[in-house]
Amino acid sequence: MALSSLTEDSLRTTVASVSAVPVGLFTAGRWHGSSSDSTFAVHDPATGEVLADVADATVNDGIAALDSAVAAQSEWAATTGRERAEILRKTFDAIIARTEDIASVLTAEMGKPLQESRGEVAYGAEFFRWFSEQAAHVAGSYGPAPTGGYRIVTTEQPVGPCLLITPWNFPLAMGTRKIGAALAAGCSVIIKPAALTPLTMTMLVDILHESGVPPGVVNIVTTSRSSDLSAALMSDPRLRKVSFTGSTAVGTTLLRQAAENVLTASMELGGNGPFVVCSDADIDAAVAGAMVAKFRNGGQSCVAANRFIVHTDVHDEFVMKLQQRVSALVLGPGTEPGVDIGPVVSDKQARTLQELVDGAVDEGGRLLVGGSRVEGTGSFFEPTLLIDVPLSSRIAREEIFGPVAVVYRVDSDEDALNAANDTNFGLVGYVFSKTQALAYAERLETGMVGVNRGLVSDPAGAFGGTKASGLGREGGTSGIHEYLETKYMAVEV
């Protein structure tokens, strides 16, 4: 049946135990099908089963979403910070109230264990609470011109309609981090979620609508033709900003396209996170941090520790304790109780992991735990621990994006820092030391550092990278400013 011929109520599907997940496009405040009547399938990575057929937006649908965002922009920009704050706060409450529903859809389409999905719902909702607090506190400035005679006044204004391109690994939180900031600033948005995991985001759009976001301010286009759609939107001068989370390769293409219309761009791109364990580290704390930094989200995170760089004096103790913890991880469908690691997002990803691990073994690496893709239903890869791999190997250069921990041995803390910085990426680093941690953190060429802890993600922290890992910051007090432009007025007195 063609999506466009369905009623709004029938544009919903049943996923897992949840009913009524929207599967259409949302523009100008209503759900509708694709103009080509086409759909694409969303799969459960644990079973390979089709969860839903979702509207497949065409370029024309993308432009219609931009029409809708443009029409809503000035009225939304004219609302007060307090009004926007109230809507965002209501959204936060509504997401929390629907934690179980959202978490079960999130697990169904992305695969992470239910417990982690609940954690992502809390994390994702928090961006709305955080930006509700920011919305009412955007300040300008007033002062005399240095030469006298007039006044220098500045005010912050919304940048305009934004395209928000979100990834599959945190289907909720990577969206809310952008949407919360953009709405707080007074921008209308077009959300383009990852084709692998669009359902969590369509649920969120429903919640935003119910929480009072006016028609046209939030629009969503689900599509299997991502690059065509984003290219068309970015070549339209009415779009004023693009914010993207994903690979450095795609981010670079988007930046080239953004240059044509001099679009403001925020890019949260790939990483190659070093995790430095110094000779004086508390090894139990380092192992606990390593488990979070590597195995949160099954390792499918830009902020996952990619390289454990460990001082030779503590290497064997660290490896022995890490091996115990990795061996105890339970792999299975995210819906099963007690599971720590769900499937990776696709078969393609499982095959890439196998190539990386096999390559590392060929280069002298020793497998202490796991190392294989699981044959059969779903795309599972064993939690894996590798040691004795040379720092020059492919696995040390590429973002692993899976439950594979690789430990490298170095002779000194200085060697560890040099190895940590020997990459084009600079998203996050971790350092464990009882006496030098802050000094070493300052020397890591990354936008964020976990200092004696394995988790940096926090809506109140400025999230973002240096070098090839991106431009701009999300969350924290700077996040809202990615969606604001300063206007300066020279005022004669």
Q: Report, in Å, the least distance between residue 201 CB and ligand SIN.
A: 15
CA 157 to chain centroid = 26
Catalytic residue among 116, 120, 302, 445: 302
The C-alpha atoms of residue 426 and residue 309 are separated, in whole angstroms, by: 16
The single residue among 343, 457, 468, 480 that binds ligand SIN, judged by CB under 6 A, is 457
Whether 261 and 292 have beta carbons less than 8 Å apart is answered as no
Burial of 348 (0-12, 13-18, 19+ CB in 10 A): exposed
Contact code string over 301-340 relative to ligand SIN, x by CB under 6 A: xxx-------------------------------------
Closest alpha carbon to 242 in 250, 231, 234, 253: 234
Q: Specify the stretch interacting with ligand SIN by CB under 6 A; choose among 143-151, 299-307, 346-354, 437-445.
A: 299-307
Q: Which is nearer to ligand SIN, 34 or 245 (CB)?
A: 245
Beta strands (DSSP E) in 91-167 are: 141-144, 150-158, 162-165
Number of residues near ligand SIN (by CB under 6 A): 10
User: Of the two residues 174 and 444, which places its CB atom closer to ligand SIN in the complex?
Assistant: 174
Minimal distance, residue 97 CB to ligand SIN, in Å: 23
Indicate the residue among 174 and 385 with the shorter CB distance to ligand SIN: 174
Taking the least distance from each CB to ligand SIN, the nearer of 61 and 268 is 268
Q: How far is the CB of 460 from ligand SIN (least distance, A)?
A: 12
What region, left, alpha or beta, does residue 140 occupy, with left being phi > 0 and alpha being psi -120 to 50 degrees? Answer: beta
Residues 164-223 interacting with ligand SIN (rule: CB under 6 A):
169-170, 173-174
- The tally of CA atoms less than 13 A away on the side-chain side of residue 251 is 22
CA distance 258 to 158: 18
Question: CA-CA distance, 89 to 125, in Å (whole number)?
Answer: 9
User: Which of residues 359 and 461 has its CB atom nearest to ligand SIN in the complex?
Assistant: 461
Q: Is 473 helix (H, G, I), strand (E, B) or coil?
A: coil
Smallest separation (angstroms) from ligand SIN to the CB of 447: 12
Cβ-proximal residues to 39 (8 Å cutoff; 6+ apart), any chain: 3, 23, 53, 54, 55, 56
Looking at the DSSP bridge assignments, the partners of residue 153 are 142, 489
- Rank residues 224 and 247 by Cβ distance to ligand SIN and give the closer one: 247
Residue with Cβ nearer ligand SIN (13 or 245): 245
241-245/264-268 β-pairing: parallel
Closest distance to ligand SIN from the beta carbon of 196 (Å) = 14
- Select from 23-31, 49-57, 296-304, 348-356 the region that touches ligand SIN (CB under 6 A): 296-304
Rounded to a whole number of angstroms, the distance between the first and last alpha carbons of the chain is 67
Catalytic residue among 120, 268, 382, 482: 268
CA distances from 190 to 26, 183, 220, 245 (A): 9, 11, 5, 15
302 catalytic, yes or no? yes
**What are residue 342's phi and psi, to 5 degrees?**
-90, -170
Cβ of residue 427: shortest distance to ligand SIN, in angstroms? 8
Nearest distance in Å: CB 59, ligand SIN = 27
Q: In 3-state terms, what secondary structure has residue 295? A: helix
248 binds ligand SIN (CB under 6 A): no
When binding is defined by CB under 6 A, the residue of 34, 107, 219, 245 that contacts ligand SIN is 245
Positions marked active-site: 268, 302
Task: Catalog residues that contact ligand SIN under the rule CB under 6 A.
Answer: 169-170, 173-174, 245, 268, 301-303, 457
